[in-house]
Structure 1
Amino acid sequence: MPISKPHSSLGSKNSGSCYNLARYLEKENRELENLLNKNNSLKDIANYSNRKQDFFNHTKSDISIIEVVDSIDNNIKKLCKKDSKFFAPTINFSQEEQEHIISLITEEEVKTVWELNQKQFELYNELLRGYILRVMNNYALNFNRKDKGLLSGDDLLYFAKIEHFRKFKGTDTKTKSGEFKSGDYKPGLNSHVHILVSRKDKTQRLKLTPTTKERSTQRKIGNNDYQVGFDRKKWTDLNEKSFDAYFKYDRPELEKFENQYTLKNGSPFENDKLKQKIKSKALEKRELKQRVSIFDRNDKDVKTIRLKK
């Protein structure tokens, strides 16, 4: 499942300017810039330059850090000095999910995004951007404020940034064992997305807090009824369903969020029942894959069908 976390921030305070966070999210571009300065090959220079990622949202895909900071920092009408001004959700993908997305682009085995050619790399990012638009639609709808005009991600003020690499930290097990050094790039596919979203919607009329403990609560001030809350579990579940539908992903039962949630939080009886269900469905899928040939009535021939994983 795409792990969806509605962080308040990424280690920095979110009651002031978002500049520090926005600048932090430019770190991969800065590293690519350093590689550019160390290479004289025109091919390498073009490659590193084309790998840079801009911020994007529902309407644009080439947004500068200046526009990001200016937009978020000025979308704070009626917020007090100590109030949260923005939030920093992250969307993280499993290796299996990333491999599936790449399989839509190329039939070749790809162990790292560096192995994608420029055209494939651009398409990969385009697919990720398309998915994030759906994630932010889910984010908006999960506040249950349709009656106030919050209908989709386009009603939010947000900026997203795709990153493709992760580094080992000193606290990681493989760093402590000496297998890798702190600062080394992690092997494999490590694409993920950071989102910087204003607490206020575009109209600056609504306060939207995804980290609240309330899932859905009706409140009343004077003659005005309104709803507050954000169901983080529901958001994760919606994002998983959006992923599977958008990418045509046949998700294994054990990977499904609802099943993972039950295995982690359910009773022993619920866990045993679910494990039997997962085992039964896996057996059904294996039997289906064994039936790999059918009769084609058009040419009266037997053809082999390779079912997608």
Structure 2
Amino acid sequence: MYIIITKQHMDKTFSQSSGDFVDYLEKENLDKAPELQEHFFDQHHDRVSPKHVVKDIDGNTAKLRKNAPKFYSLTINPSQRELKHIGNDPEKLRQFVRETMKDYASAFYRDKPVPVDSIKYYAKIEYERRYKGYDREIKENQPYRAQIVKLQHDLVKIGRGELEGDSQSIKKTIEQLKAEAPHHIHGKMVEQGMKKPGLQTHVHIIVSRRDVTNTLSLSPGSSHKASEITLNGNAVKRGFHRDVFFGNAEKTFDRLFKYERNFVESYTAHKMYNKEPYKFFAHLMSLPTNEKSAALKMMGRSGLHVPNLNIPTNQVQLALKAFKQLKRTIDMAKDAGSIGI
């Protein structure tokens, strides 16, 4: 499970409307018959029109400055292993979103609890993802892609008589480079814009900056961490517990669907890997044998980068050795799922 929270942003300014974002979220519906389209939903309704979403979010911005975000975007990205566990069922995803938005509401640090019905949000399920420039597969294919583009330009110049060369030899080299590139889908070199394989279902949520009464500001931004300030001589709670929200969302998924989460799938492991890699690998090696084996398989399938560390403990050195061995034989681990780590 990987959850991202981002504020509404367009270049250096904030748009005064959610229309562009809502239009973007309608992209998968463009070529689908009405009965096959996915609809926006909220805490109590399964079908909300895009027009209503824009009107409701745009009309809920009282007292917000022009240079302040009007809404936030949450993206919920279940792993392929999690999606397989629930059968990629959209009804179960809607159930999970509604329950985890209760976790979102409870993560606000306020003097009084924030109920979920005070959150104005609309969610949309999407089933596709396409490769982008920052994806590992695109980056690792890029040196081959650069050579191919240059050779293709040379072919054009040869055709115009601007350059001498053997066109057939160049075409053969291009095909060889395509074959040598490290990442392919159905025999074709992975390029930007191609659909990603496997289950790619995820959920976009647009959340108003203001509560449903349009009187209170509820910001989950990273600059609004849980804290207390003194206002008119009184201590006032404010902010948002991101870590609490992310952790509780995982627990909600596990509780709803009886999912047995491996250590490396957890938000705790994600943070530990980024901040304390020594501790991460030490903990990994302390897992029971079956869970440790499954964890290493998941790590390999996810393409997790293992840093070149001079790790002092024998257990962690063994973990690194096992991981490197797994990387060489990972195609055999067909039963492992990918993780968002």
Give the TM interval when normalised to the shorter protein.
0.7 to 0.9
Query: What CA distance in whole angstroms lies between the structure 2 residues aligned with 1:273 and 1:201?
Result: 44
User: What's the CA shift for 1:266?
Assistant: 1.7
Per-residue Cα deviation, 1:233-261 (whole angstroms, up to 9, x for no partner):
22111111111111110112222221232
TM-score of the aligned structures, taking structure 2 as reference length? 0.66
Partner of 1:254: 264
Query: Which segments of 5 or more consecutive residues in structure 2 lack a partner in the other structure?
Result: 146-177, 179-188, 295-336
2:223 partner amino acid: K
Q: Is the CA contact 2:123–2:203 (under 8 Å) kept in the aligned structure 1?
A: yes
SS, match of residue 6 in structure 2: coil
Alignment match of 2:208 (pick from 194, 198, 204):
198
Q: Does 1:213 align with 2:223?
A: yes
User: What's the CA shift for 1:10?
Assistant: 6.7
Query: What CA distance in whole angstroms lies between the structure 1 residues aligned with 2:9 and 2:250?
Result: 23
User: What's the CA shift for 1:272?
Assistant: 4.6
Partner of 1:100: 85
* Aligned length, in residue pairs: 247
RMSD (CA atoms): 2.6
Structure with the bigger RCO (C-alpha within 8 Å, sep 6+) is 2
Q: Is the CA contact 1:4–1:235 (under 8 Å) kept in the aligned structure 2?
A: no
Partner of 1:41: none
Q: Is the CA contact 2:284–2:292 (under 8 Å) kept in the aligned structure 1?
A: no
Partner of 1:27: 27
Give 1:123-202 correspondences, 5 Å limit: 124-145=89-110, 147=112, 150-152=114-116, 154-169=117-132, 172=135, 173-174=137-138, 176=142, 179-202=189-212
1:150 partner amino acid: V
Task: Report the CA distance shift for 1:273/1:180 in structure 2 as closer, same or farther (over 3 A).
Answer: closer
Query: What CA distance in whole angstroms lies between the structure 1 residues aligned with 2:239 and 2:18?
Result: 24
Partner of 2:69: 84
Alignment match of 1:275 (pick from 274, 284, 289):
284
Query: What CA distance in whole angstroms lies between the structure 2 residues aligned with 1:146 and 1:100?
Result: 38
2:99 partner amino acid: R
Query: What CA distance in whole angstroms lies between the structure 1 residues aligned with 2:86 and 2:16?
Result: 37
Query: What CA distance in whole angstroms lies between the structure 2 residues aligned with 1:224 and 1:247?
Result: 43
Task: Report the CA distance shift for 1:74/1:223 in structure 2 as closer, same or farther (over 3 A).
Answer: farther
SS, match of residue 210 in structure 2: coil
User: What's the CA shift for 1:218?
Assistant: 1.0
| Structure label with greater radius of gyration | 2
Partner of 2:300: none
User: What's the CA shift for 1:133?
Assistant: 0.7
TM-score of the aligned structures, taking structure 1 as reference length? 0.72
Query: Which segments of 5 or more consecutive residues in structure 1 lack a partner in the other structure?
Result: 33-47, 103-112, 114-123, 286-308
